[in-house]
Amino acid sequence: MEKKVSGGSPGLARLEIEEAAKSGAGVAWVRSEGGLRRVFVEGALPGDLVEARVASPRKGAHSLEGKLVRVLSPAAGRRNPPCPAARACGGCPLGGLTPPAQRAARKRLLGKLFREGGFPDAVIGDVLGMAGDREEGFRNKSILYFSGAGGALRLGMYRAGTHEVAEGTLRCPQCPEWMGGAAESVLAWARRSGLSASPSGPLFSLLMRAGTRGRLAALTVTSALGEAVEEGLASSLRNAGLTGAVVSLKSRGGNFALGEESRVLFGCGSVEAEIEGASFEVRPETFLQVNTPMTPVLYRIAIGVARAAKGSLVLDLYCGVGTISLLLAREAARVVGVEVVPSSVEEARRNAERNGAANAEFVCGPAEVVLPELSRAGLRPASVFVDPPRKGLAPGVPAVIAGMAPEEVVYIACGPEALVRDAAAFRELGYGLGEVVPVDLFPGTLHVETVARFARKPGS
């Protein structure tokens, strides 16, 4: 949609902010040499009318940058972010909007993506949020990073777009209080022990997980700490109320929060998460939705939109540790889960045994490899569930699914752009887009989980 630009003060432009970029900057559209261009304005929010100084375009650039001067008319629901570290952290670019205004912005974003992707008539439900617009204490996982040395050693979240730990980010309001206390205890222990952050020292990151039962920490280091130092760590974490701790040794580069080898310091190295009455073992590396109260809501919606799963064969791709698979197994005749991570498949099998789901089985391998093998073996599911990573389904996967001729495909998307792309592929294969239900698992952010159902058209 073209946005009009009018002159304000001399040298300034008046901009209507239509959406937010992935960086968190507000986005407006202006006419300039070469046609319609996007303008990114840091500090502006969707719905704002702002005055900004727009810089001349860089050679070859397709977009412009604007420096916010003032907000002329604030967006409906604009507020001061509830987190004092919001600007330094950058993890919640929509934190300056109330929860209802955030959800409205996400719905507009979804609508735009579907329209531009060739689905102008897609019916998108309202974004479902937490009861009471809760914004605190809902996360069951936290990852913090170390920087500095000695008394200047820090522990917290990286500043947006950097590998620098932002001041005041050791405690996140979205995490349980005990995680902040545990992080403070670990930082105090590290300073007493004279440790420093990688690369000059061994400290890299601290991961914490909250279970329905249990509290777990995993300290990732780049070299061994020594027995006496580890004993001090164990004592600090026990005193902070944790039930288990793991030390993970990292030798590879990159920003991976866990190393290649892990050793239990105390406890059993996992916590127990309960979802819809089913029990799951959760280790430091386990994928689990981070929003504890909204995860069962997401799964209820996904299972609820399915029409063909009850009493039938169900295929669950990208199944992780079997969370959805085991909930489906309560009413399906048989569930086959496919997952690429070997340790997750092992956990899924243990979880099936733990929950008495004898009709659930799990296959290890990439979906794009395992799926054709299952098809050649004659597997013909009535219902297919997919919960892929942000990049969506691997090339060729929609065609193999369609070749199995299921009555429906239920898609749980963490990347809406990939969902729209894959929706176009399913449409070409004879599957029509039905319900689209967005769910807010990440308050303050631009992310939105989306459940969509595709039904096989008659004659396809």
Domain coordinates in residue numbering, the chain: 6-75, 141-271, 275-456
Question: Within 13 Å, how many C-alpha atoms sit on residue 90's CB side?
Answer: 18
Sign of CA dihedral 328, 329, 334, 336: positive
CATH pick for 275-456 out of 3.30.420.40, 3.30.465.10, 3.40.50.150, 3.10.129.10? 3.40.50.150
Query: Known catalytic residue: 414?
Result: yes
- Which among 89, 175, 319, 414 is annotated as catalytic? 414
| Distance of alpha carbon 118 from alpha carbon 283, whole angstroms | 41
Report helix angle 227-239 to 177-192, nearest 10: 150
Fold classified for 6-75 = OB fold (Dihydrolipoamide Acetyltransferase, E2P) (2.40.50)
Which two three-digit tokens encode residue 106?
């996400």
List the Cα angle 33/36/42 in 5-degree steps: 100
- Round the CA-based radius of gyration of the chain to a whole number and report it: 24
Beta-carbon contacts of 363 under 8 Å, excluding residues fewer than 6 positions away, are: 336, 337, 338, 339, 345, 370, 374
| Distance of alpha carbon 413 from alpha carbon 391, whole angstroms | 9
Question: Could you list the pLDDT tens digit for every one of the 460 residues in the chain?
Answer: 444 444 445 468 999 999 998 888 999 998 876 678 899 999 999 999 999 999 877 777 788 999 999 999 999 999 999 999 988 888 999 999 999 999 999 999 999 999 999 999 999 999 999 999 999 999 999 999 999 998 899 999 998 878 889 999 999 999 999 999 999 999 999 999 999 999 999 999 999 999 999 999 999 999 999 999 999 999 999 999 999 999 999 998 888 899 999 999 999 999 999 999 999 999 999 999 999 999 999 999 999 999 999 999 999 999 999 999 999 999 999 999 999 999 999 999 999 999 999 999 999 999 999 999 999 999 999 999 999 999 999 999 999 999 999 999 999 999 999 999 999 999 999 999 999 999 999 999 999 999 999 999 997 7
Closest CA to 392 of 338, 455, 317: 317
| Distance of alpha carbon 448 from alpha carbon 259, whole angstroms | 29
Query: According to CATH, what is the number of the domain 141-271?
Result: 2.40.50.1070
Closest CA to 341 of 320, 327, 358, 362: 320
> Would 6-75 and 141-271 be classified into the same CATH topology?
yes
